Copies of this chain bind each other. A is one copy, B any other.
Amino acid sequence: MSRPVTLFTGQWVDLSLEVVAEKAEAFGFDGLELACSGDHLDVEKAAKNRKYCADRLQLLERFGLKTWAISNHSVGQATCDIIDSRHKAILPARIWGDGDAEGVRKRAIRDMMLSADAAANLGVDVVVGFTGSPIWHLFYSYPPNSPSEVEKGYLDFARRWTPIMNHFEDVGVRFALEVHPTEIAYDIVTAERALKELSHRESFGFNFDPSHLFWQGINPVEFLERFPARVFHVHMKDAAIRADGRCSVLCSHLNFGDPRRGWDFRSVGRGNVNFDAIIRTLNRIGYAGPLSVEWEDADMDRERGAKEACDFVRKIDFQPSDRAFDRISAKR
């Protein structure tokens, strides 16, 4: 059997979960990766109310859908970030509160713990999300970073996420950090470092999303080979680079969808990520979870795109071989 193909609902929170579920069934998906946002999933309720969870699952079931992971990106982002007005726009009022930075971070940490409870109540063992980063703004070292500032940033992350991960382990749920710019880990080296800061505890791993690695110049396969046991979840998302000698890979403070950007997201299969190589490596490292389409392409109608993406993922995915060829074959 191939892997289940799910749709991440984060790009569809303007619609009710029922509408999204109906569409997802029509597009051909096997399930949804529920965003902790809109009416898709209320973390607090889900953490405390098993009936609510059962209802959510029943709703999905009506459309033949299942769920293998839930996602809480925005709140996770607030756990370690330097808080500014942008966070207000993406956080629930109960987290933002009076906007005092340290208070926001503390409430966000507590909410991430609730996400683990919510997952457990839904019968799901992975929460996908972000961590934010106290040192992201230092990424280019001018004024020169002192090494100790970077060091301190990693320690701050570890200090905040150790209790979160303790709680995850208590309820038997794993956290999958989406390796992504603005997070404590955004490439291979920083992912190595984040694991080390948490003493390689087994409950902390990654949501592998090749689109964020590709434009940085990283071959996504290298990431998988480096962290075979830490791939807890997979996003199928594509990206393309515009190499015309005028665009910057830093994207000039321009919004997604602006053609002057050096790179942008693409409907899966229309960008430059090599998904065949990714499937081979996922087979090799034994990843058996869902392939979750995070559909984002500023140029394209999302319904057309989501359907096309679902078809693409089914076609590119395949099961590994169960035999060695030169043991069968009369020739090569």
Contact = CB atoms under 8 A, between A and B. Distances in A.
A13 interface: yes
A283 B267 CA distance: 15
Nearest to A181: B140
A332 B296 contact: yes
A248 B332 CA distance: 19
Nearest to A190: B252
Interface in A120-153: 130, 135-147, 149-150, 153
A131 to B, nearest CB: 12
Interface in A289-303: 296-302
Nearest to A8: B331
A116 B150 CA distance: 36
Interface string A276-310: 10001101100000000000111111101100100
A183 to B, nearest CB: 9
A137 B140 CA distance: 10
Interface string A43-62: 00000000000000000000
A76 B188 CA distance: 34
A94 interface: no
Contacts of A280: 259, 299-300
A229 B256 CA distance: 23
A93 interface: no
Interface string A247-279: 111111111110110100000001000001000
Contacts of A327: 144
A39 interface: no
Nearest to A75: B330
B299 A320 contact: yes
A252 B325 contact: no
B35 A331 contact: yes
A256 B182 CA distance: 20
Given A85-B149, A144-B89, A330-B13, A262 B320 contact: no
Contacts of A332: 141-142, 144, 180, 256, 296
A72 to B, nearest CB: 9
B305 A143 contact: no
Given A144-B332, A189-B252, A259-B225, A244 B216 contact: no
A320 B300 CA distance: 4
A248 B143 contact: no
A37 interface: yes
A253 B197 CA distance: 15
Interface of A: 10-14, 35-38, 71, 73-74, 77, 81-82, 85-87, 89-90, 130, 135-147, 149-150, 153, 180-182, 186-190, 193, 213, 216-219, 221-222, 225-226, 241, 243-257, 259-260, 262, 270, 276, 280-281, 283-284, 296-302, 304-305, 308, 318-332
10 contacts: A10-B330, A11-B325, A90-B331, A217-B262, A218-B245, A225-B259, A226-B246, A256-B326, A283-B299, A308-B318
